Chains A and B, each alone.
Chain A
Amino acid sequence: MSEAGSGLNPDIGSRRGPLWFLAEVTYRCPLQCAYCSNPVDFANEKDELSTEEWIRVMREVRELGAVQLGFSGGEPLVRKDLEELVAEASRLGFYTNLITSGVGMDADRLARLKEAGLDHIQISFQAATASLSDDVAGRTQFEHKEAMAREIRRQGYPMVLNVVLHRRNLDQIDEILQMAADLEADYVELANTQYHGWAYVNRKALMPTMKQLTHAEEVANRWREKMAGKMRIYYIWSDYYEGKPKPCMNGWGTTFIGVNPDGRVMPCHGAAMLPGPPLPNVRERDLNWIWNESELFNRFRGLDWMQEPCRSCDKRFEDFGGCRCQAYLLTGDAAATDPTCHLSPLHQQVRDAVESAEEEPRVMVEQPLILRNAKNSKALREKFGSRPKVADAETME
């Protein structure tokens, strides 16, 4: 989830339900971001939930206590019934967030969404220039996105401008922040790439040098001072470079619930790639059962599932052992300590990846990006089966 604002607090008394509901209403998307967090084999997924099914799901998740609803994807604007979904979400008392690239948006649609009760828009930019934007995400219609960001502000929405940072755009940080200031964003979220999903497939091409990262942070700090009181700036490091894991989802099954386009329910964005029984589906079970009783939501709930070094570590109450999907991706064991932690016995793998990003020749001969599109998704799936062990996918041409 996003880091805008101070985030959702997991330590709320006796609360048992989720707070944050991510509705991935479609995997269809006009963009092809090489770091997309969707499953690598998304092109295999069809059969999106209908309007009525989404409405039932929203009602059930709201009854569990969730207050924030993010409409995401894919590109949620692709859904013709988005206004209808937003209206129902708003009526149910959710704070409604639209997470969009702005591609496919127009002023009329924005006005209709506003009328439906949409509270806030997070618009993503891929870079500060059209050419780089297109390099990492296909045809991004950069000028149209800028026009839409202006329109979002003109219509009075609060706006978060989100940029995923990596080797190719980190050196544009000053231009990116200038753009955000010109577009009058309320919040800017500068999120360094997390290496899951497509970003893992493209890890070699995306990982920056330490110098790029620290320089970008310095620039962000300068802008933060300059824009104090006008624009809030969040600069988020990648766990690979920090030597400590992220407190994944504020703890598994405590705060976050996500529903895939086809109705599968996830305790984190990446859970579709974990081994084990099929994910629980809203078409088979109600959300109360899925949240409270399903094996998946209880698998890493609490601290009892932990192995050493997590099991006896003081930090386990803060980082919850890190990211389960990353642990599986890098070690083959979803219950292992996240290897981005310096205490993990496999931490050297992460160090090696970070160090290899420093090697000079890579600055000259850049790795090609595998863009997130149906063709590449099918190719990855054919090569590695329906749950690609993406560790092997790195060698893919």
Chain B
Amino acid sequence: MSFAADTRVNLAHGMKFQWEPSQNSHVLLYPEGMVQLNDSASAILKYCDGRSVAEVLAALHEQFPDADLDGDVYAFLEDAHERGWIRTES
């Protein structure tokens, strides 16, 4: 899967993204399983709600103005798609 700026990204069917105070982190929940997310993964997944990749990047740039993060974001999205965490619409 290669992502373009206008590819829309959303959590995959059956996935839930939420903050867990007892784990002090965001988690991704799916049928009978859980992934504990690190800060960068949760920062990106937070915006995977039907926005385009360009919009996700814009939101992240606003949140982290000094960071050079485009390459990392594309790499993460590919990985997340491979793992079945997100789905895409062109």
Q: Which residues of A contact B (CB under 8 A)?
A: 1-2, 4-9, 12-13, 15, 17, 19-20, 64-65, 67-68, 70, 93, 95, 97, 119-120, 122, 156-158, 160, 186-187, 232
Once the chains bind, are B33 and A68 in contact (CB under 8 Å)?
A: yes
CA of A95 to CA of B33, assembled, Å: 9
Q: In this complex, which of A97, A119, A157 has the most chain B Cβ atoms within 10 angstroms of its Cβ?
A: A119
Whether B71 is near chain A, meaning CB under 8 Å from some CB there, is no
A9-B34, A65-B22 known; 7 new pairs, CB 8 Å cut-off, are A5-B31, A6-B35, A12-B23, A20-B32, A67-B34, A70-B32, A119-B29
Q: How large is the interface on B (under 10, 10 to 19, 20 to 34, 35 or more residues)?
A: 10 to 19
Q: Which 3 A-B pairs have the closest CB atoms?
A: A5-B33, A158-B14, A65-B22
Q: Per DSSP, are chain A's interface residues mostly helix, strand or loop, or mixed?
A: loop
Q: Mark B15-58, 1 if CB is under 8 A from A, else 0.
A: 01010101100010111111110000000000000000000000
Which partner residue on chain A sits nearest B18 by CB separation? A93
Of the candidates B18, B31, B34, B35, which one forms a contact with A187 in the assembled complex, judged by CB atoms under 8 Å apart?
Answer: B31
Given the known A-B contacts A12-B23, A65-B23, are A97 and B31 also in contact in the complex, defined by CB atoms under 8 Å?
yes
In the complex the two chains form, is B23's CB within 8 Å of A15's CB? yes
Closest residue to B21 on the A side, CB-wise? A65
- A186, B31: Cβ atoms under 8 Å? yes
| Known interface pairs A4-B31, A67-B29, A186-B31; A95-B16 also in contact (CB < 8 Å) | yes
B residues near A157, Cβ cutoff 8 Å: 14
Give bound CA distance, A4 to B84, whole Å.
13
Neighbour of A5 across the interface among B18, B23, B27, B32, CB < 8 A? B32
Give complex CA distance A232, B18 in Å. Answer: 24
Does A158 lie within 8 Å of B13, measured CB to CB?
A: yes
- What residues on A are CB-neighbors of B31 within 8 Å? 4-5, 95, 97, 119-120, 122, 158, 160, 186-187
Tell me how far the C-beta of A153 lies from the nearest C-beta in chain B, rounded to whole angstroms.
11
